[in-house]
């Protein structure tokens, strides 16, 4: 919830949802790299990094709003609920790709 508010505030501050999305996705990439480097050091570092990664995923609130506004009024609710599903189901490399 903190990340959602932060991404919304950033998009208002820079007056661009696109810039806020790019900034938060970059922040998430850095947070994941830091998580992999810092988390094994102990429980305190692990929980701290989980908080940072959770904060960085707050861009979803702005993403869903942006995706829903691309459609007309009669399709906005469908787009707002379908956009995260389509992103979750998008093709990505799998360790088993190519094997039968």
Walk along the chain (100 residues) and give the pLDDT tens digit of each residue: 888 888 889 889 999 888 988 999 999 999 999 888 876 788 888 888 889 999 998 888 888 888 888 888 888 888 888 877 777 666 766 666 555 5
- 52: CB partners within 8 A, 6+ apart: 31, 34, 35
The whole-number pLDDT of residue 99 equals 52
This prediction has a pTM of: 0.71
The whole-number pLDDT of residue 27 equals 92
User: To 5 degrees, how large is the angle CA 90–CA 14–CA 24?
Assistant: 35
CA-to-CA distance for 19 and 77, rounded, in angstroms? 24
The whole-number pLDDT of residue 26 equals 93
CA-to-CA distance for 89 and 19, rounded, in angstroms? 24
Residues 50/92, Cβ–Cβ less than 8 Å: no
């Amino acid at each position: 919830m903190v990340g959602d508010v932060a991404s919304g505030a950033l998009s208002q501050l820079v007056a661009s949802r696109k810039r806020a999305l790019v900034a938060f996705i970059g922040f998430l990439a850095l947070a994941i790299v830091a998580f992999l480097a810092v988390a094994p050091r102990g429980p305190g570092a692990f929980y701290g990094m989980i908080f940072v990664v959770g904060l960085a995923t707050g861009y979803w609130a702005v993403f869903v709003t942006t995706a829903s506004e691309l459609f007309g009024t009669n399709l906005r609710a469908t787009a707002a609920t379908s956009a995260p599903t389509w992103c979750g189901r998008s093709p990505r490399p799998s360790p088993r790709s190519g094997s039968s």
